[in-house]
């Protein structure tokens, strides 16, 4: 029996960079949607990078009918506008992923799998990550000392799906450009500031001809990802529309803001968000001096959106090989398997062991000295001493309360005294009336009244003091 074949469906210009990370390990053949139908045999496997267009959807349906295993390799984030707000005459299927047509879907992260499961794909999703990121460094970008704050401004491959959406994106970019023209320098006073002031520079990486409409120099020359990786190493912050590129930026620890004027739900969040022009200045200041809690939040969002394992390619290869074995077993045990009868378990891959962002008290509370102590014995000694001090304070508090209670009892005895009691009550009444008169005058003219002492009360005061 011949070894099963693995196909990547699409034209070479469309899918070569998607297939590159695992093409040799799986001996993948790139074939068009027409050719793969003619070449694939039952028990083979076909990988799709899209189910949006009819050529892929019809191909997937036909391959499944011929008992060819199918896998949808999702390479990007889910985006609300792309899923729900397309034009009525959009050539892409408006129901894409609802449900997924392929037998299985390789998701980039847990949150994506969760959403797809809610869309009617329970049992189809497998969390793999993004194989093409395996070769991309994930270490934080080291700070530069050139006194320049460089912000990479990006748009997704498709900046909008309707004219209205594109105009909104254009307006947000124009607002950014205007801000940069009016703010050549950033002045800092915060504790996390990299310097007293920095020169600001926007680096543009725009799509859809927006660079021409804005009149800016574009740094975008290819979509393979290599150019973006090089650019990320030269910038201090990123502002982007909803795009997979935001995950690449966050993965490298770069402060990243989502530029989103659309006021629609978000399937993926960044560390910061700009949803109106008045938020631009304050957000950029925060990007330049990010707080530990903001960076921690950014990492938690990345952890949900992207399975950031050491080697996503291994997980994809494992998934493909197991699907081939399952399909081959079913065809061997049932040589006359009916059309479209291949089936796969709900969960083929084991859950990945990936570390969540560490909640570090030292990083999140840098101004609290107790969290900066690394020596356990010293910390325990400080804790013991603190508890001892609390015990002393509680004892003093109990004593003061007892003395206050005793004073209350003495005062009650004075009030009950046949001579001193009436004098004390008259004095309290007069003080109350004077206070009311002062408040009334205050309300009338807005000034604080000056109340002269009443000579007739001097004897009462004297009697009270003597009695006390």
Torsions phi, psi of 250, nearest 5? Answer: -65, -35
Rounded CA separation 199/149 (Å): 6
Best CA proximity match to 133, nearest among 12, 316, 254, 311: 311
Q: What is the pLDDT of residue 384?
A: 81
Ordered DSSP codes for 21-79: TTHHHHTEEEE-HHHHHHH--TT-EEEES--SSHHHHHHHHHHHHTT-EEEEE--S---
Average pLDDT of span 298-307:
95
Instruction: Please write the tens of the pLDDT for every residue from 197-234.
Output: 788 999 999 999 999 999 999 987 776 667 898 899 99
Specify the pLDDT at position 387: 86
Say if CB 29 and CB 7 are below 8 A apart: yes
Confidence of residue 158 (pLDDT cuts 50, 70, 90): very high
Per-residue DSSP letters for 278-322? GGHHHHHHHHHS--HHHHHHHHHHHHHH----S-HHHHHHHHHHH
Residue 122 CA to residue 242 CA, distance in Å, equals 26
pLDDT over 70 at 190, yes or no: no
In angstroms, rounded to a whole number, what is the distance separating the alpha carbons of residues 366 and 192?
11
Q: Compute the mean pLDDT over every residue in the chain, rounded to the nearest whole number.
A: 87
Cα 241–Cα 247–Cα 251 angle in degrees, nearest 5:
140
Q: How confident is the model at residue 438 (pLDDT cuts 50, 70, 90)?
A: confident
198: left (phi over 0), alpha (psi -120 to 50) or beta: beta
pLDDT given for residue 352 in this prediction: 85
Q: Cα separation of 407 and 34, whole Å?
A: 97
Look at 121 and 408; give whichever has higher pLDDT.
Answer: 121
**Stretch 279-306: mean pLDDT, rounded?**
94
Q: Which of the four pLDDT bands, split at 50, 70 and 90, describes residue 455? A: very low
Non-local CB neighbours of 252 within 8 Å, separated by 6+ positions:
137, 138, 139, 140, 141, 232
Predicted confidence band at 465 (pLDDT cuts at 50, 70, 90)? very low
Q: How far is CA 148 from the centre of its chain?
A: 26
Residue 458 banded pLDDT, cuts 50, 70, 90:
very low
Whether pLDDT at 464 is above 70: no
User: Cβ neighbours of residue 459 under 8 Å, at least 6 residues apart?
Assistant: none
- Residue whose token pair is 């990123």: 238
What backbone phi and psi angles, to 5 degrees, belong to 321?
-65, -40
Complete domains list, the chain, with CATH: 6-135+309-333 (3.40.50.2000), 148-307 (3.40.50.2300), 380-467 (no CATH)
In terms of pLDDT, which residue wins out, 159 or 423? 159
pLDDT value at 403 more than 70: yes
User: Region 156-181: what's the mean pLDDT?
Assistant: 96
Above 90 in pLDDT, residue 256?
yes
What would the mean pLDDT of 255-263 be, rounded to a whole number?
97
pLDDT at residue 380 in the model: 75
Tell whether the model's pLDDT for residue 375 goes beyond 70. Answer: no
DSSP reduced 3-state for 105: strand
450 pLDDT exceeds 60? no
Q: Is the model's pLDDT at 97 over the cut of 90?
A: yes
Distance CA 43, CA 61 (A): 15
Residues pairing with 188 in the sheet = none
Answer with the residue of higher pLDDT: 190 or 393: 393
Q: Running DSSP on this structure, what letter comes out for residue 88?
A: T
Higher-pLDDT residue of 279 and 437 is 279
Residue 318, pLDDT > 60, answer: yes
CA distance 138 to 308: 9
Distance between CA atoms of 30 and 8, rounded to whole angstroms?
Answer: 5
């Amino acid at each position: 029996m011949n070894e099963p074949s693995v196909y990547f469906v699409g034209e070479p210009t469309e899918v070569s960079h998607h297939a590159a990370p695992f093409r040799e390990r799986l001996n993948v053949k790139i074939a068009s949607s027409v050719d793969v139908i003619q070449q694939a045999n039952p028990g083979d496997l076909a990988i799709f990078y899209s189910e949006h267009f009819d050529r892929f959807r019809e191909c997937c349906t036909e391959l499944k009918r011929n008992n060819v295993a199918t896998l949808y390799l999702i390479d990007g984030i889910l985006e609300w506008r792309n899923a729900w707000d397309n034009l009525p005459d959009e050539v892409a299927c408006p129901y894409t992923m609802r449900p997924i047509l392929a037998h299985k879907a390789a998701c980039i992260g847990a949150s994506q799998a969760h959403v797809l499961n809610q869309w009617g794909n329970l049992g189809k999703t497998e969390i793999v990550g993004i194989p093409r990121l395996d070769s991309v460094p994930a270490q934080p970008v080291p700070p530069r000392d050139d006194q320049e704050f460089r912000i990479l401004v990006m748009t997704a491959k498709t900046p909008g799906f309707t004219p209205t959406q594109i105009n909104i994106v254009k307006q947000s970019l124009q607002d950014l450009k205007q801000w940069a023209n009016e703010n050549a320098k950033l002045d800092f006073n915060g504790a996390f500031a990299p310097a007293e002031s920095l020169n600001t520079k926007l680096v543009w990486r725009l799509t859809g001809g927006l660079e021409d409409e804005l009149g800016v120099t574009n740094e975008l020359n290819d979509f393979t990802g290599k150019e973006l990786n090089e650019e990320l190493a030269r910038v201090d912050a990123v502002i982007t529309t909803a795009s997979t590129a935001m995950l690449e930026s966050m993965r490298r620890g770069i402060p990243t803001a989502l530029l989103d004027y659309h006021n629609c739900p978000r399937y993926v969040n960044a560390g910061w968000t700009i949803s109106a022009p008045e938020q631009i200045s304050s957000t950029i200041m925060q990007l330049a001096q990010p707080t530990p809690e903001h960076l921690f939040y950014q990492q938690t969002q990345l952890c949900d959106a992207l399975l950031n394992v050491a080697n996503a390619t291994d997980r994809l290869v494992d998934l493909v090989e197991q699907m081939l074995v399952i399909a081959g077993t079913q065809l061997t045990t049932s040589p006359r398997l009916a059309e479209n009868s291949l089936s796969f378990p709900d969960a083929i891959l084991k859950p990945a062991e990936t570390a969540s962002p560490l909640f570090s008290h030292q990083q999140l509370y840098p101004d609290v000295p107790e969290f900066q102590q690394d020596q356990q014995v010293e910390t325990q000694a400080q804790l013991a001493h603190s508890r001892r001090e609390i015990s002393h304070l509680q004892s003093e508090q109990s004593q003061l309360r007892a003395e206050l209670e005793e004073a209350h009892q003495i005062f009650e005895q004075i009030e009950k005294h046949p001579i001193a009691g009436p004098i004390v009550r008259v004095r309290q009444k007069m003080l109350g009336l004077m206070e009311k008169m002062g408040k009334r005058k205050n309300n009338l003219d807005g000034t604080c009244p000056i109340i002269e002492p009443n000579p007739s009360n001097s004897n009462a005061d004297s009697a009270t003091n003597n009695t006390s």
